[in-house]
A and B are shown apart, each in its own frame.
Chain A
Amino acid sequence: MAVANVKKVGIIAHKKDKEKVVDFLYGTGLLEVTNWQGKAVKVEAVEAEEDTSQLEYKLSRAQFAIGFLEEYKGGEKVKLVDKLIGAKLPVSTSKVAKIAKEFPIDKVVGRCNELEEEINQKQSEIDSSTEEKELLEKWVSLDVKVDEARETKTTKAIFGMVGNEQYLAFIRELEKKVTQVDIRKVTNDEQKNYILVIFNKNFEREVSKILFKYGLEKVSLPSADKTPRELLEDLSERNKVHRKDIKKLKSETEKLAKKYLADLKVLFDHFTWQVDKSAVQKDFKETNSTFIVTGWMRKDDIKRIEKGLEKVTTNFVIEEMELEKGEEAPVVMSNSSFMQPFEAVTSIYGLPKSSEVDPTPFLSIFFIIFFGLCLTDAGYGLVLMTLTYLIIKVLKIPKEKQRLLRLLMYGGFVTFIVGVLTGGWFGIVLEDLPAGLDWLANGLMAVRLINPIENPIVMLGLSFALGYIHIIYGIAIDMWWKIKNGSVKDGILDSGTWIYFLLAMGFYGATAAGVLPESLKSISLYLLLAGVVVLILTQGRKQKNPIMKLLAGIGSLYGLVGYMSDILSYSRLLALGLATGVIAMVINLIAVMFKDMIPVVGWVFMVLIIIGGHIFNIVINVLGAYIHSGRLQFVEFFPKFFQGGGKIFRPFKRVSKYVDLKS
């Protein structure tokens, strides 16, 4: 329970065993390697291994090949479950070594490169031919070879387009002004006429003037000794060949993917590990014949590592080191498996510092009760509980990914209990159940202690009461922690007096509100006044000047406003609980309205609305309950005793993307 004891350790071993030691540390993943700046012994920094960049290069090549082949891997279906939890390929260590040794990486990556280039090139040729095709299609009916319709000694030919409106005038003027001209209209569309103009070179100036006047757009056809139709046929022939080639190339790629993809992934992870292992050595220090690793390790693990290292090498020392000034150990939370799900809540806020108490076990019970109060529907609680249980069991979610689901499962259970006590059953109004279900309604009403819709004030009071307890609990943890760590005086005088004051306040409030007998009222008032006096006397004790002591003491009473506003914040429990219940009621109401409005089909609508509506309501309100219950911990509860801001423990550890390594 609480924060694990993390120690700073140093390992010194013989250089010749370096690789084995690094391998071992990497495999166990229990040490966070740090860059040790110590000057106790004269040591030299290890020069970064030359081959780190070489390895990174290999890694990026493998990554490219995987990315390319992944697109062509074909029909192999990944099971949805595997996809959701990111299942990995189980591979043995020896197999990895074998693949690393034998895999023809250069050949495969090289071929992938060629294939990608060739496919892209052919594809882009096909894509760019569309334009040419459109151009040629207009000229299909021209039965002249394109090259023939060019310049000769005496004539010149121009392909062009003229707008429909100007066409007639254009021809008329051309034929009038130029005697030796041949105009051939090839085709026309909505806007333009496509023409071939052949004329005697002597008239070139006149012709070009007219062409300019009527805005003729020249067209340049690809030069070839062929008619446009033949060119078009060539083009589609070429594209056909290209498509066939691409198909062939793709099928080769698919074969490649089938054959090498799995191994490539193993190789990718292998390279990643190598890069990791080589990069970490930058933080090592070396002497002539030894090397030194420093880092953080849980105290419980030191023995294990020592035992393990003994099997690897005999020439080593492992030792706990003193913390330097201002140095803080990274933090690992370690809680019982029942409490572990609640670590998810704590880690939203941040990890505790290594010198702080882990708030996880303390917030757990309140978190889950508040969660239930925000939902207050036994039906929803049941759904949530069964659903999360089924997900964990049926999909076989691995333990380390269960945290959130387990938390929701607990939440569902508490919601069920709270729902039973407040009579929330899918928003059904128990009083309105049909007569035949009297027994059920009566039974459910019998266990219903409060009906929040009829009686919101009682629920509000309950919310405040829980807030009151929660806050005093928070201060009490602070007191306990301070006393445990030796600051007995601060613990009692700061936290203790406030606890006393808040308790006296609650006592007085209870008598004033008539919850406790009237006769206790005067006693409670004296207790409360005593609390005020004590606060004034104690809270200013750190000031030197006696007047300032008094003023600071009086000023500290203002802290009460803070506690009051904290407690008011718990009213959200009522509001969110009501929201869930009332939305559920509205859903049922709307569903029944549809049934009454539309005959026959109305039933279908009713069922759809009920199912869809309640799912929506559950999702929205589970989210709200989680967030707001968490907020009450972070904003109202934590500041009483907890700061957070611990560094996360990041062990030097094998992380793999594709492979699940079995030794």
Chain B
Amino acid sequence: MIGIALAICGAALAVGLAGTGSAIGMGIAGQAASGVVSEEPEKFGKALLMEALPGTQGIYGFLGGFWVIMKLDLLSGATPIDAATGLQFLFACLPIAIAGLSSGIFQGKVSAAGIGIIAKKPDESGKGIILSAMVETYAVLGLLATILLINGIQLGG
């Protein structure tokens, strides 16, 4: 059963760490957004959009975790695996866990700065969105690596 436990640990890290990244990132961006909205409430929509950007890491992390759940049928009586396979799952989850944590935080910072663009030059806010999305690339790659790695793990060996 240690194998399953390790796999679950991987899924938990993916969801938890990437979610933390998003939470911190959205927290940073949200504070900046409130600042702008308190002066100009009509900019709420744009500010909200910018705040939502660092939220995707949490979703990617959840996705990585869910990929483990699906692969091992954890929802309906898990497929038994040995400890070595369990470790494989744990490591396969790390890309999105780590990349999600760090990119979430930094994307939040770029978003917060982008909210400054919304305040000063609302017409140019599209550029702020793109700048913020640049950071997200590494969460996307992390998710991709996690999915491909989990996909490649041989079960029942």
Minimum CB–CB distance for B105 against chain A, Å: 19
Contacts of A348 in B (CB 8 A): 126-127, 129-130
Stretch from B25-33, B85-93, B113-121, B133-141 at the A interface: B133-141
Q: Which residues of B contact A634 (CB under 8 A)?
A: 130
A-side interface mostly: helix
B147 touches A627 (CB 8 A): no
B130 touches A572 (CB 8 A): no
- Look across to chain A and name the residue whose beta carbon is closest to the beta carbon of B66: A586
Q: Please, what's the 1-or-0 string for B32-75, where 1 marks a CB less than 8 Å from any CB in chain A?
A: 00000000000000000100110110011011001100000001
CB nearest neighbor in B for A579: B63
Which A residues lie within 8 Å of B151 (CB)? Answer: 456-457
CA distance A469 to B130 in the complex (A): 23
Check A456–B130 contact: CB distance below 8 A. no
A125 to B44, CA, bound (A): 36
Check if B130 sits within 8 Å of A579, measured CB to CB. no
Residues of chain A within 8 A (CB-CB) of B75 are 589
A575 touching B143, Cβ below 8 Å: yes
Quick one: given A456-B151, A627-B133, are A576 and B52 in contact (CB under 8 Å)? Answer: no
Known A578-B63, A631-B133; contact A456-B140, beta-carbon cutoff 8 A:
no
Instruction: Assess whether A511 is interfacial by the CB under 8 Å rule.
Output: no
Chain B residues with CB below 8 A from A574, complex form: 144
Chain B residues contacting A575 (CB-CB under 8 Å) are: 60, 140-141, 143-144, 147
Provide the bound-state CA to CA distance between A630 and B75, in Å: 37
A interface residue count range (under 10 / 10 to 19 / 20 to 34 / 35 or more):
20 to 34
A569 at the interface (CB under 8 A from B): yes
B148 at the interface (CB under 8 A from A): yes
Per-position contact with B for A456-471: 1 when CB-CB < 8 Å, else 0? 1100100000000000
Q: Is the CB of A631 within 8 A of B63?
A: no
A460 to B151, CA, bound (A): 13
Complex Cα spacing A189 to B52, Å:
54
For the complex, give the distance between the alpha carbons of A348 and B132 in Å: 13
Q: How many residues on chain B are close to A (CB under 8 Å)?
A: 27
| Min CB–CB distance B67 → chain A (angstroms) | 7
Q: A571 and B141 in contact (CB under 8 A), knowing A582-B66, A631-B133?
A: yes
**B67–A582 touching, CB < 8 Å:** yes
Give which listed residue, B52, B63, B66, B137, contacts A572 with CB less than 8 A.
B137
Q: At the interface, is chain B mostly helix, strand, loop or mixed?
A: helix
Q: Bound state CA distance, A250 and B117, in angstroms?
A: 41
A323 proximal to B (CB < 8 A): no
Task: Flag if A569 contacts B130 (CB, 8 Å).
Answer: no
Chain B residue numbers with a CB within 8 Å of A298 are: none
Complex Cα distance A569/B129, Å?
18
Decide yes or no whether A623 CB sits under 8 A from chain B: yes
Please pick, from B49, B130, B141, the residue contacting A631 in the complex, using a CB distance under 8 A: B130
Which of chain B's residues have a CB closer than 8 A to the CB of A620? 52, 55-56, 59
A578: nearest residue on chain B (CB-CB)?
B147
User: Assuming A456-B151, A569-B137, is B59 touching A627 (CB within 8 A)?
Assistant: no
Expressed in whole angstroms, the minimum distance between the Cβ of B114 and any Cβ of chain A is 12
Distance between Cα atoms of A631 and B53 in the complex (Å):
14
A635 near B144 with CB under 8 A, answer no
Answer whether residue A353 sits at the interface, using C-beta atoms and an 8 A cutoff. no
Contacts of B143 in A (CB 8 A): 575, 579
Contacts of B137 in A (CB 8 A): 569, 572, 631
A628 on the B face (CB < 8 A): yes
From B55, B56, B66, B147, give the contact of A456 (CB < 8 A): B147
Find out whether the CB atom of A582 lies under 8 angstroms from the CB atom of B63: yes
Assembly CA distance A623 to B136 (angstroms)? 13
Complex: A586 Cα to B70 Cα, angstroms? 10
In chain A, positions 571-599 with a C-beta closer than 8 Å to chain B are: 571-572, 574-576, 578-579, 582-583, 586, 589
The answer to whether the Cβ of A624 comes within 8 Å of any Cβ in the partner chain is yes
Q: Is the CB of A623 within 8 A of B49?
A: yes
> In residues 630-653 of chain A, which contact B (Cβ within 8 Å)?
630-631, 634-635
| Chain B contact residues, CB within 8 Å of chain A | 49, 52-53, 55-56, 59-60, 62-63, 66-67, 75, 126-127, 129-130, 133-134, 136-137, 140-141, 143-144, 147-148, 151
Would you mind naming 25 contact pairs between A and B with Cβ atoms under 8 Å apart? A347-B126, A348-B127, A349-B127, A350-B127, A456-B147, A456-B148, A457-B148, A460-B144, A460-B148, A571-B141, A572-B137, A572-B140, A572-B141, A572-B144, A575-B140, A575-B141, A582-B63, A586-B62, A586-B66, A589-B75, A623-B49, A627-B130, A628-B133, A628-B140, A631-B133
- Chain A contact residues, CB within 8 Å of chain B: 347-350, 456-457, 460, 569, 571-572, 574-576, 578-579, 582-583, 586, 589, 620, 623-624, 627-628, 630-631, 634-635
The 10 closest A-B pairs by CB, nearest first: A348-B126, A575-B144, A572-B140, A627-B133, A575-B140, A575-B143, A571-B144, A582-B63, A631-B133, A579-B63
**Additional A-B contacts beyond A460-B148, A631-B134 (12; CB < 8 A):** A347-B126, A348-B126, A349-B127, A349-B130, A350-B127, A571-B140, A572-B137, A572-B144, A575-B60, A576-B140, A578-B63, A582-B66
